[in-house]
Amino acid sequence: FEENLKKTKGYVIRKMKQDGNCLFRSVADQIYGDQEMHSTVREKCLDYMEAERDHFSQFITEDFNEYIKRKRNDKVFGNNTEMQAMAELFNRPIEVYSKSLEPINIFHLSYRGNQYPIRLSYHHGNHYDSICDLSNPSVGVGLGFPDFHPGQADKSQMNKAIKKSEFDLLNQQLYEEALLDSDWRETEMEIEEAVLAASRAEYLENLFNQHKQKKQ
């Protein structure tokens, strides 16, 4: 399945830790590019469900408040309800694959859009991994950045690095100019001190000669 997925669609499965956070890790990997941000994704997901309780409470059989409280805990598995919430929250449909080149389940948005889907692989009845399309990087899509396009995060980081390099070069040039200016100022001060010293010596010599002439 994994080889066929890569060969046919160009998708690569990124393995997530099997610690009960795998659903949120997989979504974090695609939204933030870092599965370790799973707690942030979990928190945002449950906050959204709580804010939209009138809608999501219809799909929860237990007490809704207790459900939200339990799901906020680390290492508690996420399910279809959370996936629907995250699809709406990040404005990206979620596609779930399992031993098939076509998704077995798709969680749609509350409104139509052309956003890049979040793709997950489902294994052994209880584990999710992240599926990445190498030809269309989508990290950052769904975070609400204006005029954001896939791959822009990498370009943005590169632009920042270039700007920092230019800034460091400018600082170095300014420093060198300031150093040269400082050296010149120091040279000027040394000349002034030498002139003052010479003038003082000349003054003392003249004073001594005048005193000597008076004695004669």
**Reduced DSSP (H G I as helix, E B as strand, rest coil) percent helix, strand, coil of the chain, to 5:** 55, 10, 30
pLDDT at 158 (0 to 100)? 41
Our answer to whether residue 127 is catalytic in this structure is: yes
Which ranges of the chain have pLDDT less than 70? 109-114, 137-216
**Looking at 22, 29, 45, 132, which residue is catalytic?**
22
pLDDT at 156 (0 to 100)? 47
Kindly compute the dihedral angle of the four CA atoms of residues 47, 50, 51, 55, in this order, to the nearest 10 degrees.
130
Our answer to whether residue 149 is catalytic in this structure is: no
**Looking at 19, 34, 74, 183, which residue is catalytic?**
19
CA pair distance 34, 122, nearest whole angstrom: 19
Query: pLDDT tens digits for 184-193?
Result: 566 556 656 6
Our answer to whether residue 19 is catalytic in this structure is: yes
pLDDT at 164 (0 to 100)? 45
CA pair distance 155, 177, nearest whole angstrom: 33
pLDDT at 199 (0 to 100)? 62
**Looking at 34, 55, 74, 127, which residue is catalytic?**
127
